[in-house]
Amino acid sequence: VIHYPYLSLRRSVEKWSFYWKGPSLIQASYDAAHGKPFILDAPGRRHTLVSTKQHIKDLDNAPKDVLSLQAAAKIMLQPKYTMHSFNWPDKKGLDGAPLTRTLRAFLRHDLGRILPKTRVRNEILLRNMVEESQGRPSISHVFHTLVASTHSLAFFSDDLVNDTEFMDAALDFIFRVIYIAEPLNLLPEFLQPMIGTLVGWMCPSQKVMFDKVRALAQIRLDEREQASRGIKGPEHRDCLQWVIEQTHKLRPWSADKVDPWSAERVTHEMIALWFGAMHSVTSTLNYVIQDLCLHSEYVTPLRMELESAAFKAFEATGEGLPLLESFIKESQRMNPLDLVGTRRLALKPFTFSGGHQVNAGEWVCTPLTPMLKDSAKWAQPNEFNGFRHVSSEILDSLKDRHVYGSIQAERPLPITDIREWQTWGTGKMACPGRFYASAMMKQILGLIITDYDCTMENVNQNRNFSWRTVYIPTTPCITLKQRAH
């Protein structure tokens, strides 16, 4: 009895320390577990972390109403307050999953039409930003601007990319989601509605974005209704239109609710997509450009690849450029955006192979960062090897081949292959937009590598800081100098 207050206080301090000691706690627990599931507690959350192939397969095969990605993301992002009252269901696919097919099939197969268009626009935007800043632009702003321009063309064609009010709000929206959601997750649940409503009202960018996209969605729905009566309208090839078309094809075996989506429902889906596609891609690009500055020996072979016929083949398909792809993949391995991956919230009790049990309300995930730097899988795991993920034939063809280390496997998997790569998620619920995201990153980096020499000041500065289970990249000072062709 005497020791109870002390023990209770100690447990509380240990839980709260997870917020700033997450990396060391997860790494130590991973090392001690030797492949077994292990548990870490944070305020209000208990995490079970699994890392073996069998346990990850268990996680992937769990019913959607038992282990839910939707429910986990809903708590993390607080969309009711950050995405203009979007209250998405805990179970994925309740009213269909048209976005998954849109990204995995339609957008992926349309990259050959989209990429030449985005390259021309982004080349002009990049040149203007470099000239206006006299070669010292904010690299974070550069990437956010180029990625937002690419998204706007891919998601909405030309309808919103030249709307300054929309583009400004869409850029601000990304930061507001994080600034609102994270503090809300620290509050007691009973305070979240009051504080969330107040803070959301004070951040108008989500409303501006919602109103603009909703108006466009309604126009598209009206055009579709007119076309059904024989009145032809303009043809659209973008994500917004593909989502609308897919919601009109819902069937009882693919969704619990089969009614076509309203303009409001379509809009909520699109702005949630916007956040996910912006945050992960811009953060990855931030790390890659830093790695390029820190490892300048890779610049010459990357330029040779980008200036060869391989680039034309890439732009026609969205696939290829193995050297650049390997460099990006190695940067992802060395600088993961999250300490953990494949987050799920248990809506019902679940038992893994081997008997480990997870109770309803607890979280399940994989220890992403330790897995990406595990010496049992990776040779010299803490060393950056930009061409680790190419084939031996490609590596042997390079001049000064000895400079670039050794390959990881004789037949390396592409960056979008998720069988041995957790950065995109796991199995059936892996990111369906990874093919588009990969192509976009290659194109944006290609513009910088071919046209500019990059140098970074203060190369010894911290490249990120951690909060809870997330790594947040710092913004380095990078100079871009126009190359003389």
- Please state the residue numbers annotated as binding site for heme: 431
Q: Is 407 helix (H, G, I), strand (E, B) or coil?
A: coil
Tell me how long the chain is. 485
Indicate the annotated binding residues.
431
Cα separation of 301 and 324, whole Å?
Answer: 9
Q: Which amino acid is at 443?
A: Q
Token pair in block for residue 12: 């509380």
The sign of the CA dihedral 471, 426, 18, 72 is: positive
Residues in Cβ contact with 120 at an 8 Å cutoff, skipping those fewer than 6 apart: none
Question: Would you say 422 and 342 are in contact if contact means Cβ atoms under 8 Å apart?
Answer: yes
Question: Would you say 168 and 176 are in contact if contact means Cβ atoms under 8 Å apart?
Answer: no
b/e sequence 401-424, b meaning 16+ C-beta within 10 Å = eeebbebbeeebeebbebeebbbb
Question: Would you say 42 and 15 are in contact if contact means Cβ atoms under 8 Å apart?
Answer: yes
User: How many Cα atoms occupy the beta-carbon half-sphere of 61 within 13 Å?
Assistant: 9
Cα separation of 41 and 12, whole Å?
Answer: 10
Cα separation of 18 and 318, whole Å?
Answer: 40
